[in-house]
Every structure is written in structure tokens, then in C-alpha cells.
């Protein structure tokens, strides 16, 4: 689709796309991202839309984008702020020691530890992201844990990662 046509559609329908995305996701920031995604998809693909069916076509794309986002974020856990414990000073010291140890290991090992423990990805998801096999991700996890165990010591490693 041509750029001018997409800009015209954006001017006429961006508010409707936003409202639909917001009603689906109940999150203002995600809805704004969906608006951008919808119109970027129109720019990338060669769609021909009849003027009388613009609303329905954009609604279908919006709903599909919302479903994709929800599917992508399904594995993430959200904790209400009321349930979050305020960490003590010793918690920060422990985290600082772990972060220093992480910075000492090789980047290919650091990334798998980060994606697994901090972001919450499963090895199969990490394999797709890193363009590796699952066994390659598992091997990097094993090597990273071994290096961290050496840097942190057996006891500190077990407290932090097991």
C-alpha cells in the first residue's frame, strides 16, 4: 500500500484503532504500540482496501495484532505493586555481587542467564530469539551456571539460582 494512502487511513482511523486496541488490551501503552503496528503492517504489505470496508479491515488487523501481543506476553507474570516486598539493604548487596559475577562471564552465557532468570523465557523461546537449537541453549546455560558457581562460590550460587 502506498505511503500517502496509509497516512490518509491513519488520519481518519487511528483513533478508532486505538480505542479498539485499548478495549482489547486495557493498557494505554500497549494500545499505542498496536496503532503503530497496524499502520506499519499496511505499509509493508500490498493490501487493497475498498473505501466502504476500511473500518472492518482495520478492525480485523487490530484484533489480530492484539491477539499476537497477548500471546507473546502470555508467559510473563504481572505482580500488583501492593504485593511487592521492599528489598532490604542486604538484598541489594546480594544483587550487586551477582551482577558483578554476571558481568565477568562471556556475553553468550550472560544473555541466557538473563533471559531465563530475569525475563522468564523458556529454553525453547530463547532458542528462537538467539537463533540456536534448544540443546545449544541448554549447553550455554550449563556453562554459564558452572562459571557463576566458580565466581560466586557454591553456597552463594545455590541461594541465588536454585
The string of pLDDT tens digits covering residues 69-79 is 988 877 666 55
List of E strands, 70-148:
none
Q: How far apart (Å, rounded) are the C-alpha atoms in residues 29 and 58?
A: 19
26, 121, 20: which is closest to 72 by C-alpha?
121
Q: pLDDT at position 71, please? A: 86
Mean model confidence pLDDT for the chain:
80
**Using N-to-C axis directions, what is the helix angle for 28-44 and 54-72, rounded to 10°?**
120
Cell of 142: 550449563
pLDDT tens per residue, range 50-109: 777 788 888 889 989 988 998 887 766 655 555 555 444 444 455 677 778 888 888 788
131, 105, 127, 103: which is closest to 115 by C-alpha?
127
Q: Which fold has domain 88-161?
A: Arc Repressor Mutant, subunit A (1.10.10)
Q: Report phi then psi at 46, rounded to 5.
A: -95, 80
Return the percentage of the chain with pLDDT > 90, whole number.
23
CB-facing half-sphere around the CA of 98: CA atoms within 13 A: 19
Whether the CA torsion 161, 111, 115, 138 is positive or negative: it is negative
Sequence ranges of the chain with CATH classification 1.10.10.10: 88-161
Report the pLDDT averaged over residues 115-124.
Answer: 82
User: In this model, does residue 147 exceed pLDDT 80?
Assistant: yes
Considering the segment(s) 3-72 as one domain, its CATH architecture is: Orthogonal Bundle (1.10)
Sequence ranges of the chain with CATH classification 1.10.1740: 3-72
For the CA atoms of the chain, what is the radius of gyration? Answer: 22
Q: How far apart (Å, rounded) are the C-alpha atoms in residues 13 and 124?
A: 38
Amino acid at each position: 500500500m502506498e505511503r500517502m494512502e496509509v497516512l490518509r487511513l491513519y488520519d481518519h482511523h487511528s483513533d478508532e484503532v486505538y480505542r479498539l486496541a485499548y478495549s482489547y488490551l486495557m493498557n494505554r501503552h500497549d494500545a499505542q504500540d498496536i496503532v503503530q503496528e497496524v499502520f506499519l503492517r499496511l505499509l509493508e504489505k500490498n493490501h487493497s482496501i475498498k473505501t466502504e470496508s476500511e473500518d472492518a479491515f482495520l478492525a480485523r488487523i487490530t484484533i489480530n495484532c492484539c491477539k499476537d501481543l497477548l500471546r507473546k506476553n502470555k508467559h510473563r507474570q504481572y505482580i500488583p505493586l501492593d504485593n511487592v516486598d521492599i528489598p532490604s539493604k542486604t538484598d541489594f548487596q546480594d544483587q550487586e555481587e551477582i551482577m558483578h559475577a554476571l558481568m565477568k562471564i562471556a556475553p553468550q552465557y550472560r544473555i541466557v542467564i538473563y533471559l531465563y532468570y530475569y525475563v522468564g523465557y523458556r529454553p525453547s523461546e530463547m532458542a528462537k530469539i538467539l537463533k540456536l537449537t534448544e540443546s545449544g541453549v541448554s549447553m550455554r546455560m550449563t556453562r554459564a551456571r558452572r562459571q557463576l558457581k566458580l565466581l560466586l562460590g557454591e553456597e552463594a550460587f545455590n541461594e541465588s539460582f536454585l
